A and B are shown apart, each in its own frame.
Chain A
Amino acid sequence: MDFLRPASWEEALAAKAEHPTAVPIAGGTDVMVEINFDHRRPGHLMDLNRIGELSEWQVGPDTVRLGASVPYSAVMKHLRAELPGLALASHTVASPQIRNRGGVGGNLGTASPAGDAHPALLAAGAEVEAASVRGTRMIPIDDFYTGVKRNALAPDELIRAVHIKKADGPQQYSKVGTRNAMVIAVCAFGLALHPGTRTVRTGIGSAAPTPVRAKEAEAFLGAALEEGGFWESGKIITPSVAKQFAQLAAGACNPIDDVRGTAAYRRHAVGIMARRTLGWTWEQYRGAGRTLEGAA
């Protein structure tokens, strides 16, 4: 195994082009587990920690450009206002030690359906800035996940940053696990209200081969909110609408039975979380939301 330590982004791209099977490592919270347990022996390990810009972020008018290696702890601490859903998701990641090292870039690189950031990215709307020696392209988040632990990156590409839409309305995130820390999601749900476009976006984790949106549920809810004039009136969403939304969200799942949970439970839980997160975000939109302690 060779250990590469590019000092700059350009060096990193060049190295990846030369060794397309090189495995990039930043926080190490996925890659090192595989190496420690002898599940992976890449020919080249490419350390990205020397590239300082990957740990920086810029807040623009509409988006936050989040460097691929910004640790979750920084998102929680500094981007709660701009990216509330992602900040909540970050707070559910593993442990303080892991949150100090792991970041969204690594989550995307691994592209596990259980990755904590994905439902929040899907709900907020985002684009992945993927670069290679051939140039840079923006991959819409909806097109990023292509299979179980597979993503749309070409072999010579690295993730430089993620451009995430700044919140224009309340966002929520909920993760079901059988323990209160250091737990892989049994299922997870992200929801973002977008009053600017009068749409609602969702993200579901650990309930399908990839992270997915509940598009039918979103379309239904968008139409119902429009028809009922809810955006303007701010009145409470009709229980039947919330129920239908939850059912459609559950229906968007394609889960399996595994050691962490059953398919039936996952569908059921997603429905519950869809209903609850809709309630919480809508209450916040109405101005009647309760303030939450403990960073949720």
Chain B
Amino acid sequence: MALHPRAASVPAGTPTKITQGSGTRGGIGESTLRPDGTLKVTGEFAYSSDMWHEDMLWGHTLRSTVAHAEIRSIDIGEAVATPGVYAVLTYDDLPAEMKNYGLEIQDTPVLAHGKVRHHGEPVALVAADHPETARRAAAKIKIDYAGLPVITDEASATAPDAVLVHEGRTDHHAGHVPHPNIVHRQPIIRGDADAAAERADVIVTGDYVFGMQDQAFLGPESGLALPSEDGGVELYVATQWLHSDLRQIAPVLGLPEDKVRMTLSGVGGAFGGREDLSMQIHACLLALRTGKPVKMVYNRFESFFGHVHRHPAKLHYEHGATRDGKLTHMKCRIVLDGGAYASASPAVVGNASSLAVGPYAVEDVDIEAIALYSNNPPCGAMRGFGAVQACFAYEAQMDKLAAALDMDPVELRQLNAMEQGTLLPTGQPVDSPAPVAELLRRVKARPLPPEQQWLAAGAEGDSVDVRALPGGLSNTTHGEGVVRGVGYAVGLKNVGFSEGFDDYSTARVRMEVINGEPVATVHTAMAEVGQGGVTVHAQIARTELGVNQVTIHPADTQVGSAGSTSASRQTYVTGGAVKNSCEAVREQVLEIGRRRFGSYHPAWATAELLLEGGKVVTDGGEVLASLADVLEDETVDVELEWRHRPTEPFDLRTGQGNGHVQYSFAAHRAVVEVDTELGLVKVIELACAQDVGKALNPLSVVGQIQGGTTQGLGVAVMEEIIVDPKTAKVRNPSFTDYLIPTILDTPAIPVDVLELADDHAPYGLRGIGEAPTLSSTPAVLAAIRNATGLELNRTPVRPEHITGT
């Protein structure tokens, strides 16, 4: 085997040390293109609703039409007798002892038993040869409901004679909540807020309302279940966490986990809405009962009932400050409405409470956050997870405080901004860079967009381009009543699962030689939901293994859990696992190399060895061998779990504890034009500055930040699930009346990315997906307040809030 001379000559005395991955193209830090991009643009990428199988049946769910009622009887006779129907299932058909599921508390019935607790709760299932047959059969199922009192808010939930949404709770929160209709309560007490308040020159309070937002992912809930010959089942589904699903599905089917074989099919977005099960168990039940493949696809109407929403919230806040602008204390009470089933409510409470102060340094705090059980639609994970609601409130407060102190709102924030070393209200220090003041400085420093852009267009001096005005082509104004506003906000989000949760991921990495080329295969169970994890895994493998050819194996349950694609954690934790497994592979490859070629060159024993460009090289750049020669027919195959540093629970009385893994910061500036007479808002720019630690893929990073920013814009001006306050029924379960931003509603979204490394994280990276959903909403609200002078304590803002009519 020939030895290659050193490639480049260098001036004497200049160090030429290279580091692992620095010489390989397509590694971390580059904007490499998605590996699934071609399939997605040719329409050949298989999403869960694209699944198809010879002989398959269609499954359909019959859901309750009322929010809270006893089920007196269910008559499925006519439905069963319908030609083309293969099965009709109710609670009585559940095959095992386990009848419920749930992320933390297994309080959710697979099919309703004896009562329904929310509008749209699943009651029966039908499998038939055509979706229309299934629908018509379902319509023949007769259910006799006897209405029960409906719980719709804190007052009705905690009244002394309140009906209990869940009788006989045995979960681990039941013991410490003041009422059984409260899922979880987390107080955080630090210092003495009342005493500190005495020092304040100014105190501002506010009552804020955050509406129920929906994830509105475009790919409908869907999947295909195939019964296996061994009595098990194969399931192809779009989800956020295969293994969490598996853990809940198998017991209900009465099967061991290894007989439920799950493969991730293409996911059309998630944003928290796929953390809970939707049709997984239902499709499996029908497939096992009928012995045939069963496909289930929710239409958009059903989708609004088929997944949890973001917790609507009522927040009461008090801030105090001395005349110089320094915060003295903060008190708040946050009431989240969790709806009929617990889902992720306890964790959302933990987030909302621990992040309730925001990115500010305050020593004396008194915080309380609770989540209610009610008969409203169940709520759970949505991007931002409790921190969004808190940010809306504390940023409104900061503007109120600035006005009361006659201070610039950005300066007030910068004066109180968190820094590295600041303690959270839980006592946990922020032990990585916290560039809060700098992020604000950057968005503020941007030149503002030109005024009255609707006049700029056109050759003649007096042309108006309505497309630059609120209302746009709907032609509501030609400039009359339009006032500009500018607003700022900054937010604090945690990254990862908290409060002592054993949050880990698993990565299997294999290296082998195929056709003379070293190829790496990365296999994780990570759910790619659009965020670009598959791209990043390939980049990590290229960087850590010095190879160009990387194959990403489809995600399935044949490899260990990757944890949830949520909490902004995947690049950190599964990326960390991939990096870790690659390092182990690298070590093994080098061992093989030493075994084979150690006697050929002393550097094998003495130098630091790296893998670069398909070769083993020293850190001085000397090539020792090609990977093809090192491996030959051998395969190196490593599957390892990887954990980040552990966290602690929050004390149930004081809220103290090092509960979070990492923190993430973003700031926004919003520029709006408001038609003050009609109350219509056009956001013309929503600029963001965010610290991402290390941008593993800059193109993806910016895309994620722009996407999160837009979801925040949506809940500022148009998105809300409207629930009837008397009946707890959903009034707008469709895209006709649940409005998400179109391209005519979104502004320019310039993004400023900072990379201040967090040394505790792989590559110094920070999780990024959620932070932009926090500060975008309050920035838009602040801008509308700036334009109108109105208090506006509620989001989304509706036209009548602005016009006062």
Contacts and interface: CB of A to CB of B under 8 A. Distances in A.
A36 B302 CA distance: 12
B799 A186 contact: yes
A272 B475 contact: no
B680 A280 contact: no
A176 B462 contact: no
A279 B478 CA distance: 11
Interface in A246-292: 259-262, 264-265, 267-269, 272-273, 276, 279-280, 290-292
Contact of A269 (B299, B462, B678): B678
A184 interface: yes
Interface stretch (A3-11, A19-27, A66-74, A167-175): A167-175
A32 interface: no
A92 B718 contact: no
A184 B739 CA distance: 10
Nearest to B681: A178
B471 A273 contact: no
Nearest to B477: A276
A290 B679 CA distance: 24
A180 interface: yes
Contact of B466 (A269, A279, A296): A296
A36 B741 contact: no
Contacts of B476: 174-176, 273, 276
A293 interface: yes
Interface string B672-686: 000001111010000
Given A186-B799, A262-B805, A178 B718 contact: yes
Nearest to B468: A294
Contacts of A293: 457-458, 463-467
B731 A181 contact: no
A177 interface: yes
Contact of A180 (B299, B744, B803): B744
B616 to A, nearest CB: 56
Given A264-B805, A265-B799, A179 B475 contact: no
A180 B472 CA distance: 6
B549 interface: no
A227 interface: no
B803 A268 contact: yes
B678 A292 contact: no
Contacts of B743: 181
A272 B478 contact: no
By CB atoms of chain B within 10 A, which of A184, A262, A293 has the most? A293
A143 interface: no
B52 interface: no
A264 B463 contact: no
Contacts of B170: none
B742 A182 contact: yes
Contacts of A290: 462-464, 478
B465 A92 contact: no
Contacts of A174: 471, 474-476
A38 interface: yes
B458 A291 contact: yes
A268 B805 contact: yes
B464 A292 contact: yes
Contacts of B471: 174, 176-177, 180
A88 interface: yes
Given A178-B739, A272-B677, A292-B466, A92 B474 contact: yes
B128 to A, nearest CB: 14
A213 interface: no
Interface string A36-48: 1110000000000
B794 to A, nearest CB: 14
The B interface is mostly helix, strand or loop, or mixed, namely loop
A183 interface: yes
A280 B480 CA distance: 11
A172 B301 CA distance: 36
Contact of A265 (B478, B741, B800): B800
A264 B800 CA distance: 8
B462 A184 contact: no
A178 B465 CA distance: 19
Contact of A259 (B465, B467, B731, B745): B731
B732 interface: yes
B9 interface: no
A36 B722 CA distance: 23
A279 to B, nearest CB: 8
A182 B135 CA distance: 28
Contact of B475 (A37, A173, A262): A173
A259 B472 CA distance: 22
Contact of A272 (B463, B473, B678): B678
Contacts of A38: 135
Contacts of B678: 176, 269, 272-273
A295 interface: yes
Given A174-B476, A180-B471, A294 B466 contact: yes
B732 A180 contact: no
Given A178-B798, A272-B677, A291 B737 contact: no
Interface in A63-121: 88, 91-92
A178 B458 contact: no
Contacts of A92: 473-475
B475 A175 contact: yes
By CB atoms of chain A within 10 A, which of B458, B465, B475, B735 has the most? B475
Contacts of B800: 261-262, 264-265
Nearest to B139: A38
A264 B798 CA distance: 13
A218 to B, nearest CB: 21
Given A179-B745, A181-B745, A280-B478, A294 B473 contact: yes
Interface string A148-181: 0000000000000000000000001111111111
A262 B299 CA distance: 29
A178 B474 CA distance: 10
A290 B455 CA distance: 11
Nearest to B731: A259
B362 interface: no
A181 B478 CA distance: 18
Contacts of B44: none
A280 B739 CA distance: 30
A179 B718 contact: yes
B230 interface: no
Nearest to A267: B805
A180 B466 contact: no
B349 interface: no
B463 A291 contact: yes
Interface in B9-42: none
Interface in B448-498: 457-458, 460, 462-467, 471-478, 480-481
Nearest to A292: B464
B717 interface: yes
Nearest to B466: A296
B736 interface: yes
Contacts of B480: 276, 279
A269 B475 contact: no
Given A180-B471, A290-B464, 6 more contacts: A176-B476, A177-B471, A178-B718, A178-B798, A179-B718, A267-B805
Q: Which 9 A-B pairs have the closest CB atoms?
A: A180-B744, A268-B805, A265-B800, A293-B465, A180-B472, A294-B467, A296-B466, A175-B474, A290-B462
6 contacts: A92-B475, A178-B718, A181-B473, A183-B739, A259-B732, A294-B457
Interface of B: 135, 299, 301, 457-458, 460, 462-467, 471-478, 480-481, 677-680, 682, 717-718, 722, 731-732, 734-737, 739, 741-745, 798-800, 803, 805
Interface of A: 36-38, 88, 91-92, 172-184, 186, 259-262, 264-265, 267-269, 272-273, 276, 279-280, 290-296
